[in-house]
Structure formats: C-alpha cells, structure tokens
Structure 1
C-alpha cells in the first residue's frame, strides 16, 4: 500500500485533472485518499500546499529535465539531447492534458499562494535545464549571448506554449506535427549541423573557430574580475582564481574533491577526472603578469584551510553540497556585472579557458604540452596559437615603438 503522503498526492492529481483545482476541496481529496482531512492539513497545510508538492515531488514533473542533467562532453550530440528533452516534456504533458488545461485555464482565479506554487514548480524545472545549458556552453557545444537561465526559460516557455496550443485548439496550422515543432526548436537554439553525427568530428576539430564569440580576455579585465571575486568571499576568490590559473572547465570544477589537490613548495597540482580521461593540471602562481601567492599559499589553499565543514567537495553551496555549473555561472555573473570587454560585452565564463591557453602559449608552452594539460586536440588549439602569436607581435611592436632606432 502506498504511503499516506503518496495517496494524498495521487488523489489530488486525479481530482485536479478531472474537475479542476478551483473546484476541488480538501475534503474530497482526503476522502479519495482514504484518510482524515486533518491528516492532509498536517502534511500539506492546505490545497495549495498539495499543488506545490505535485510540482516538487511528483515524478511527472521532477523528471521533466532529468534527461539533460548529466555530464556533457564534446562527443555529445547537443541537438539530439535538446530534442529528446523537449520530446520527453511534451510526452509528460500529454499524459495529463486535463491537468495542464486546468492549471493554465484557472490560474487567474488562484490566490497568490497557489500561483506561487505553480511558479515555484516551473522555476525548479527551469533551474535543471539551466544546469544543462551551463554545462553545454562551458564545453563549447552551444554559444549564446543570453544568461543560461534566460535561455532555459525560452526553451521551456516555447515547449509549454506548444503543448497548450495543442491541448486547447484545432486547425492552427503552426506546425504539421510534433516532430516539425521539435526540429524547428533545435534549429533555433543549436548551431546548424551540430545535430548531424557526420559533422561532429569536423565541428570538434574546429571548435575554437566556430565559437568566434569566445576570445581571450585582456589582463586588466582578468585582474578586475579576480578583484571583484575577492570582495565577494574567500570561496569566490578561490573559484575565480582556479578558472584563470588552470584553464579547466566549470563542469570539471563541480567534480573536484579536496583530496584532488596536491600542494607543496615545488608545485600545486589538480587531478582532473572525467568519464573520458584523467589528467593533471598545474595551478599557476602567476596570472596575466601578476603573482597571486605561492604554491602553498594562494587563494585556493587559503579557501581550503578556512573550511570548518566535513564536506569533501572542493567548492560548496549554501546547502553544503557540491556547487553546480549553474551556481558557478551565477557567481561569474555577479563578479562581471559591471565589467565590459573591448567588444562592448559582459565577459563570459567560456572565455577563461582560452585566456589561460593563450597565456601559456605566449609564455613558451608547446602545443603538444598544452594538448596534454587541456585534453584538447592540437587542431582545436591552432586558432589559439595564432592568437598568441598575434598578441606577441603586438607586444613586440609596442616595445619597438618605445625605443625608436
């Protein structure tokens, strides 16, 4: 027999679906679940608490974005993943079309707490999808000028809008069928050709070229970002420092454990473990011409020494859990909200990795060694090598101009 909690949830969903939220009473829900109405009040507070629980706990809703909340790597087919997510979402909606009609159609009649329940449920789905986009952007699979939460909101709004149109109207002729809608959605958000497996190898070989918006950041902006992070918190400073001192992806940072750092007077090393490869990456003392401590005393080591908790993750959120890629993106947005690049845009977190790569190349590192440290193919690094030569030429020309013959 299902628990009382589950029976109440199932009864609420059944009644909300068949007669609408507004017309359903707590007594009806309790009677259908075979429990006392007082039990409902103790567990959920009221009908609106039940509605909120449905969005937070019911598998029909908590699983909406699960197909996207997984580690992304350059071999993934971003277009197909996005299409699968939207398709799964529509299938979920189609299982409870009357409930969707009721929730949407009666929303204007709901009291504020009920509308907040609906909004909170949708916000949770949006948060999970945002994590996927943060991962995909960090890996170079997607490029966008929008914050990840806005991008996720657009995808979810369009998918829900399609479902509402299908459930409430006929002969609209917007799309021939669901597949046409899904293909259109993918074309809108994913670069042309990305969802073609035949083109994946070519795209990966030219990853840095195809993401032209991702360029290295000048030294003065890097130091401004680090300064803003330092003002925010000890952990923020360590996080920003790691992005610019190692060139690792935010998704790799989310998996780091405290034990994966090796620090002594000779070097500070991080062990990076991914499903495809395990590699070691040095943590630089020098970042863009400025020294940020030593191997044993820098923003990262100071953060770890300040920890009073028993958590094993290297970076943690307010709940004491490992930070997600989306939470790292949110930190980045906070540090850079007042900073503008030479192109007139807010810096993106995707620029940290090429910034580090260009700096290493300018300091004399070979493409072969950089390939080992980053896990990227030499062909992917060629555009960055050209950028490093370009910057070196500019520096030489500037020095020559300061010392006329």
Structure 2
C-alpha cells in the first residue's frame, strides 16, 4: 500500500511541476522534493523521468474507461452505442482538458511525449476495432475497413474535443449533444446494412 501511495505522490508532483514549469524544466530531483521522497525512490518506482511521464499519461488515458464501457454497457445497437461512447469520451476529456492541452503544448519539442501519448489512441483504436468486429459478426455492420471506421470515429470525437477545448463555441453555437446526435446518426446509417 505504501508503494502505491508513494507512486501516486510522485505522479501528482510531476503533474504539478510540468503544469507550472513545463516538461524540460521539470527534473526528477524537483519531483522528488515536491513528493517528499528521495530521488532514488523515483528511479526505483519509475526508472527515469520518461517512466513518470508514462505513468502520468496512463493515469489520464481514456482507453481503460472505453474498454470498461464496451464490456459492461454495449447494447450492440450501433447508433446508441456510438453516441454513448462519444458522450463518455467528451465528458472524460473535458474533465482533464487542462492536462491534455499541456501535453500538446509540450509534445512537439519532446518526441518521448509524442511516443507515450500515441499509446492512448492506439489502445482506443484496438478497443473500437474489437467492438466493430463483433458488430460485423452479428451482421450489424456493412463490409467496410474496420480500422478506417475506428479511426474515423476517433477523429470525430477528438476533433470535436480539441475544437471546443481551444475555441469554445466561437465556431458554432450548436451543442455538443446535438452535434453528436447528428454526426453519429449519419455515421451509423453509413455503416448499417
């Protein structure tokens, strides 16, 4: 239990420091000081700064939530499920909006951030592909490139999130709910036999 508590303190300290100072200026020594641990404890728990970065990204990953939603709440009604997945995604992403925007600000200068962040959409893609494959087995999906529709669905959701997170309602006053009702309806009709 103590190890989890120590790891969590280290992760929280890293998040706070990266938010304030940026990734480059955040050192393992500064993280250790803020977390109230010895720097050796960081290396023992995470290996290095990138290990902490990976833990932070995993903490904020939507992938496990999507996996749980699919496993426990899928109705195998395409339009209903996709709307539900989108709603869950938007709610979650807006709850961590500040951290997502920080990761984009930092990513371009640090390839390791891009490499770690890329694991999130890869995991989400994997879960969506599994869902769409099951829909295809059930005869509820037209013969389409499943990876392509999974990526299209990811882009639809992430694109909306980024647009709203950065621009608010300056581009459109249409609510997120109405945008997704319309887009998911159109998307679903194009995939239904």
| TM range, smaller chain | 0.7 to 0.9
2:140 is the counterpart of 1:138? no
| RMSD (Å), alpha carbons | 2.8
Query: Greater strand percent: which structure?
Result: 1
Secondary structure of the residue aligned to 2:70 is coil
Deviation at 1:99, TM superposition (A): 0.6
Work out the CA distance in 2 between the residues paired with 1:122 and 1:53: 16
Work out the CA distance in 1 between the residues paired with 2:155 and 2:81: 18
When Rg is computed on C-alpha atoms for both structures, the one with the higher figure is 1
Note if contact 1:64-1:125 (Cα within 8 Å) is conserved in structure 2.
Answer: yes
In structure 1, the residue matched to 2:41 is 39
Work out the CA distance in 2 between the residues paired with 1:172 and 1:178: 13
In structure 2, the residue matched to 1:167 is 165
In structure 2, the residue matched to 1:83 is 83
Long gaps (5+) in structure 1: 195-209, 212-405
TM-score by length of 2: 0.82
Work out the CA distance in 2 between the residues paired with 1:164 and 1:20: 20
Q: CA 1:114/1:136 → structure 2, altered by over 3 Å: closer, same or farther?
A: same
Counterpart mapping for 1:327-338 below 5 A? none
Higher relative CO (Cα under 8 Å, sequence separation at least 6) belongs to 2
Work out the CA distance in 2 between the residues paired with 1:16 and 1:58: 14
Deviation at 1:94, TM superposition (A): 1.0
Deviation at 1:190, TM superposition (A): 0.8
Size of the aligned set, in residue pairs, is 191
In structure 2, the residue matched to 1:382 is none
2:157 is the counterpart of 1:191? no
Deviation at 1:62, TM superposition (A): 2.5
Secondary structure of the residue aligned to 2:135 is helix
Work out the CA distance in 2 between the residues paired with 1:163 and 1:71: 23
Work out the CA distance in 2 between the residues paired with 1:123 and 1:71: 21
Q: In the alignment, which of 142, 150, 153 is matched to residue 152 of structure 1? A: 150
Long gaps (5+) in structure 2: none
Work out the CA distance in 2 between the residues paired with 1:116 and 1:8: 21
Secondary structure of the residue aligned to 1:76 is coil
Counterpart mapping for 1:4-403 below 5 A? 4-58=6-60, 61-69=63-71, 76-110=76-110, 112-146=111-145, 148-174=146-172, 176-191=174-189, 211=193
Note if contact 1:65-1:85 (Cα within 8 Å) is conserved in structure 2.
Answer: no
